[in-house]
Amino acid sequence: MPKIELAAVPERKGTGYPAPFDAPCAGRVRQRLGDAGGLSDFGVNLMRLPPGGWSSQRHWHSHEDEFVYVLDGELVLIEDAGETILRAGDCAAFPKNSANGHHMINRAAATAVYLEVGSRSREDLTTCSDIDMMNPASHGRFVHKDGSPYPDG
């Protein structure tokens, strides 16, 4: 049956970033709805971001489009051009290879809930804008921008 039982989809709290870059994202909770539905061409995640939490480190993708749709709460989208408030019903799109580093921070008092949609390319390289980190999708490990691994990676 195509219906996905949300309660049956595992929740994953935190992120795979190496320390100390994981700390701002430690409270985020992701449910991989696309995986639960057997999708392989693109991913769909239901994200819950508590007050003070970051969605990710500020980043951009070489080969993946990204799209977010806010279901509940308020988020601050931070990108190269500055800050924009996103509320329930608002959405944002990030074309691949735009080099526009972006992420969202919950500065409100309540948990924000949003959908995150993205393509899945094995050629993708995620580049962090503000820190010395990138992530080649081909091996999924975070490395320095010179390609050297983090000690715990």
> How many Å apart are CA 2 and CA 139, to the nearest integer?
30
3-36 pLDDT per residue, tens: 999 999 999 999 999 999 999 999 999 999 999 9
Q: Which DSSP letter does residue 41 get?
A: S
What pLDDT shows up at residue 75? 98
Mean pLDDT, rounded, for 63-76? 97
Least confident stretch, 34-38, 98-102, 124-128, 149-153: 149-153
> How many Å apart are CA 43 and CA 34, to the nearest integer?
5
Mean pLDDT, rounded, for 31-50? 96
What pLDDT shows up at residue 1? 64
Supply the CATH classification number for the domain 26-136. 2.60.120.10
Cβ(53)–Cβ(105) below 8 Å: yes
What pLDDT shows up at residue 130? 95
